[in-house]
Amino acid sequence: MTGRLAGKVALVTGASRGLGRAASLEFAQAGAWVICTARSTRGHSTQPRLPTATIEDTLDAIRAAGGQGEAVACDHTEEVQVRTLLEGIAARHGRLDVLVNNAWGGHDPVEGTPRRPVIWDEPPGQLRNMLLAGAYGDYVTSLLALKHLMGPAGRGVILSTTWHTDEPPGWLPYEVSKAAKNRLVYALGTQLREQGIAVVGLAPGWMHTELMELYHTPEELSGHTETPHYAARVLVALASDPDVLRHTGQVLDVGPLARLYGCTDLDGRQPDWNAQRRAAQGA
């Protein structure tokens, strides 16, 4: 398959479902060799509430569409596993051009009180999951990718899927975990600018994912959400942009970048859900 990322190697974490799966498919469609990682593999799902989805399923979809890649089980909160993953990529491919930090542990089951309890009853495990399979996983994966493949070569783009913190603040552990991810984008982007390695955070709108279907009716989701492919196409556009360094250290919304790069959702629309949300909050 030829495309604007032909010959490039991309690593997408959290690739078994949602935005990670869509990003894997879109990067492969653009010609990249895609390495899909996640904890959910055939016979072992980390999200029993959701329809079974695994990295093997994502790889099958990539190949069915004519793309190329591989699936590697990896828990990005475990340094040894991440190190083994990156050393394997170095041995097999000798390069890594794009890292998409997408894995997140915010939906892992937590024992204790339900979501959004009285604030002092918030289960500590919720923040732990979000920080570990969030900023910490991004931190470990980014640094090891830089050490083994990207830094010495002086090339590459690191993209992080995230969310803007709300004003006024919303759910406490979510706010803290996303603030950590966003600060990592800023700090890492600032420090890598001289090496020519861009680090950009991308904030999708209200995506229609498998998880959303647990909490919302089809009527609530219809016409008010975007598919994960919308943000995934913007990720591909960022990775393909020869001037992507202009965005480094920033967390940017999908909508404006979609207009900048000419990306559309699967239905041809260019929604800007984040702008609509902010306008409603200010009304």
Tell me the pLDDT tens digit for each residue of 222-269.
666 799 999 999 999 999 999 999 999 999 999 999 999 999 999 999
CATH code, domain with 245: 3.40.50.720
Pairing status of strand 98-101 against strand 251-253: unpaired
pLDDT for the residue numbered 52 = 59
pLDDT for the residue numbered 281 = 66
Pairing status of strand 157-161 against strand 33-38: unpaired
Residue 247 forms part of a structural domain? yes
Measured distance CA(38)–CA(160) in Å, rounded: 15
**For residues 164 and 274, is the Cβ–Cβ distance under 8 A?**
yes
pLDDT for the residue numbered 49 = 57
Expressed as residue numbers, the domain containing 51 is: 9-282
Q: What is the mean pLDDT of residues 100-128?
A: 78
Q: Is the pLDDT of residue 214 over 80?
A: no
Residue 1 forms part of a structural domain? no
Our CA angle for 195, 163, 155, nearest 5°, is: 15
Tell me the pLDDT tens digit for each residue of 195-206.
999 999 999 987
Q: What is the mean pLDDT of residues 183-202?
A: 97
| Confidence category of residue 136, pLDDT binned at 50, 70, 90 | very high
Residue 148 forms part of a structural domain? yes
Q: Is the pLDDT of residue 109 over 80?
A: no
Residue 3 forms part of a structural domain? no
Q: What is the mean pLDDT of residues 80-87?
A: 98
pLDDT for the residue numbered 95 = 95
**For residues 23 and 12, is the Cβ–Cβ distance under 8 A?**
yes
Nearest to 199 by CA among 170, 156, 167: 156
Residue 59 forms part of a structural domain? yes
Amino acid type, 73: A
Tokens of 182: 């966003």
Nearest to 157 by CA among 146, 172, 144, 171: 146
- What letter would DSSP give residue 133? I
Residue 140 forms part of a structural domain? yes
Residue 4 forms part of a structural domain? no
Residue 246 forms part of a structural domain? yes
Measured distance CA(20)–CA(78) in Å, rounded: 19
Measured distance CA(164)–CA(184) in Å, rounded: 13
Q: How many domains does the chain have?
A: 1
For residue 201, the cross-strand partners are 160, 251
| Confidence category of residue 143, pLDDT binned at 50, 70, 90 | very high
Pairing status of strand 9-12 against strand 33-38: parallel
Its pTM stands at 0.92
**For residues 62 and 26, is the Cβ–Cβ distance under 8 A?**
no
Of 124-128, 139-143, 185-189, 256-260, the least confident: 124-128
Q: What is the mean pLDDT of residues 37-60?
A: 74
The residue whose two tokens read 């996640």 is 38
The residue whose two tokens read 């892992």 is 108
Pairing status of strand 68-73 against strand 33-38: parallel
